[in-house]
Chains A and B, each alone.
Chain A
Amino acid sequence: MSEKIDQAQVKKVAMLSRLDLTDSEVAEFTTQLSAILEYVEKMNTLDTENVQPLAHCLPITNCFRDDVVKESLGTEKVLANAPQRDEEFFKVPKILDDNSGA
């Protein structure tokens, strides 16, 4: 029986998910995700050709408010949980290399 998803695909999905998985996690997820996806295949026995997708069940379509400036949390509160900060900024490792220009 062929697996629904192989290890290469699992690694690709891990990359898309920004998850650094160990080899044993890749192996485990390959088996488990295959089993789940196989179960999910049962939906294919249903004819949904003329069925509209339903994203939510609310009796609301759009929700507008007046375009007025309101007070927000403020810099201190927003940065209070930052793992690393530099004054008023979130601090991250260098993203552009030195000769990439700007």
Chain B
Amino acid sequence: MPNDLLNMDCKQLREQIAAGKVKSVEATQAVFKSIEKNDSKIGAYISTFKEQALAKAKEIDDKIAAGESVGFLAGVPVAVKDNMCTTFGATTCASKILENFHAPYNATVVEKLLAADAVIIGKTNMDEFAMGSSTENSGLKKTVNPWDASRVPGGSSGGSTAAVAGRLCFAALGSDTGGSIRQPASFCGVVGLKPTYGRVSRYGLVAFGSSLDQIGPVTHTVTDAALMMNVIAGHDVADSTSVDEQNAPVCDYLENIDKPIEKLKIAVVPEFNAGADEPVQKALSDAIEVYKKLGAEIVEVHMPHWDYAIAAYYMIATAEASSNLARYDGVHYGHRTDNPGDYVEVYTKSRAEGFGKEVKRRIMLGTYALSSGYYDAYYLKSLKVRNLIRGDFTSAFEKCDCVITPVAPTTAFKAGEKTDDPLKMYLSDIYTISANLAGIPGISVPCGFDENNLPIGLQILAPAFAEDKLLRIARMFEKQTDWHTNRATID
């Protein structure tokens, strides 16, 4: 039955496929049937590759039938956010400026998925250049929340989280610069992991904020997130900001996933949790009770500089973006204006026509922060505040194994609710942004529902390169609860 098939997680499906009990072709067909039935409503995908995916699936099935060994994701249909380069299809970043861009190479994570025998079925929608918290800034299409079509899926990886929540794939990759995996994961009721900065290669990820961007998995379960990490983590010579094996060796994230952390010490930040909506606070305190029952000790920590994170983040991220997006010049690739008066207008008009409003706004903000006379007051100041924020985490982790917080102050908000006020949209990133500034890993796991049956996420933050521990802590919670087994119904 295709429906039962779609309810499987990656690990189950991979085992069934490897054992020859389920064909990858069946799973891939089931996914495309689901896409054909529901994606006109959800809008998760910018592009899909049915023929290519079915051919790949058949290839895996044949390999298995022939008794050959297969990869960690053998035959599992997965999706990739459309800011990761693929030689097949376009890589648009949900921007008109890249609408027809065909990358000449695959991102390292795409190569790794293919090497693990995954079946890549499509590229998912996002806020243009990953700038946004609702996927409403996509220049190409609209994505809705599979739990409630009048609400946003979160963002910027809203296409990836909606695809997983809507059973339009078994797992997906997203990218997280200020919460872009964790916040939409929370809004869509799925698991989303932002690894440590430098853990996963960013080669072939279209750059937004280069000191903050990180690729990570979106899955139904924590175990699947560990499985995905086994595939994508590791040093890459093509990305000099990916951390080498000497500094931080990767490990088998699945090996101990079911082993609880002994003498677990969890920290909470009372002053910040108080800022969340009541149902979110309630879900958080229920989650704390779950950990207490497991024997965890709960301690309180203070993050005196957390309140400045959004300010510092929006200066640093936009400064980096203004520099990164200077490459869209209408000359080398991407959109070019039809009738430039002179060569300067090739730049100014191509960019004005190709970029959406939020992207323009951020380029402007970043350019201002870096401009002569303002650099010290805005950019340099932000880098100093960033150091203070990292210091808050360093002190906190001396007293605990992890910090838990809400992922977002609210559940999924209504489409259009925050589009007129950029600052209001930025403030919805309050709980996630600090992890990017400090470079540490964070995960969102389903931990409840509000009165409108909208999912709530629990955020767990751990020290740099402690993904192994982070996943185990998250798994301890998941084992005791069944929030992650709830599925959105789109009919």
A residues adjacent to B (C-beta < 8 A): 5, 9-10, 13-14, 16-21, 25, 29, 32-33, 35-37, 39-44, 46, 48, 51-60, 63, 65, 73, 77-78, 80-84, 90, 92-95
Contact = CB atoms under 8 A, between A and B. Distances in A.
A58 B243 contact: yes
A78 B104 contact: yes
Contacts of A33: 361, 364-365, 368
B464 interface: yes
Nearest to B436: A57
Contact of B348 (A20, A43, A53): A20
Interface of A, helix, strand, loop or mixed by DSSP: loop
Given A42-B311, A54-B383, A56-B439, 16 more contacts: A14-B364, A17-B322, A18-B351, A33-B365, A33-B368, A35-B423, A43-B311, A44-B381, A53-B386, A57-B211, A57-B438, A57-B439, A57-B464, A58-B197, A59-B247, A81-B104
A19 B355 contact: yes
Contacts of B251: none
B312 interface: yes
B367 A60 contact: no
Q: Is the interface on chain B under 10, 10 to 19, 20 to 34, or 35 or more residues? A: 35 or more
Given A46-B385, A53-B384, A78-B104, A93 B360 contact: no
A52 B384 contact: yes
B240 A63 contact: yes
Q: Describe B's contact surface by its main secondary structure.
A: helix
Given A32-B361, A57-B439, A60-B241, A83 B330 contact: yes
B303 interface: no
B248 A90 contact: no
Interface centre among A55, A80, A92 (most CB of B within 10 A): A92
Interface string B341-384: 01111111101100101001101110110010000001011111
Contacts of A56: 197, 211, 241, 439
B366 to A, nearest CB: 8
A19 B243 contact: no
A71 to B, nearest CB: 12
B305 interface: yes
Interface of B: 100-102, 104-105, 197-198, 211, 237, 240-241, 243-244, 247-248, 305, 307-308, 310-312, 314-315, 322, 326, 329-336, 340, 342-349, 351-352, 355, 357, 360-361, 363-365, 367-368, 371, 378, 380-388, 390, 422-423, 426, 438-440, 464
Contacts of B365: 33, 36-37
A29 B382 CA distance: 22
A13 B364 contact: yes
Contact of A55 (B340, B383, B438): B383
Contacts of B308: 42-43, 46
Contact of B387 (A14, A42, A51, A59): A51
A39 B378 CA distance: 12
B171 to A, nearest CB: 27
Contact of B104 (A51, A80, A92): A80
B311 A39 contact: yes
Contacts of A42: 307-308, 311
A93 B342 CA distance: 6
Contacts of A90: 331-332
A51 B391 CA distance: 11
A64 to B, nearest CB: 9
Contacts of B357: 25
Contacts of A18: 326, 329, 344, 347-348, 351
Given A40-B314, A54-B387, A83 B364 contact: no
A35 B426 CA distance: 12
Nearest to A83: B336
Nearest to A96: B343
Given A17-B322, A56-B211, A90-B331, A80 B102 contact: yes
Contacts of B312: 43
B177 to A, nearest CB: 13
Nearest to B330: A83
B378 A40 contact: yes
Given A46-B388, A52-B387, A73 B104 contact: yes
A55 B211 contact: yes
B384 A17 contact: no
Contacts of A60: 198, 240-241, 243-244, 247
A27 to B, nearest CB: 13
Query: Lowest 7 CB-CB distances: which A-B pairs, in order?
Result: A57-B439, A53-B383, A81-B333, A83-B336, A54-B387, A63-B240, A48-B384
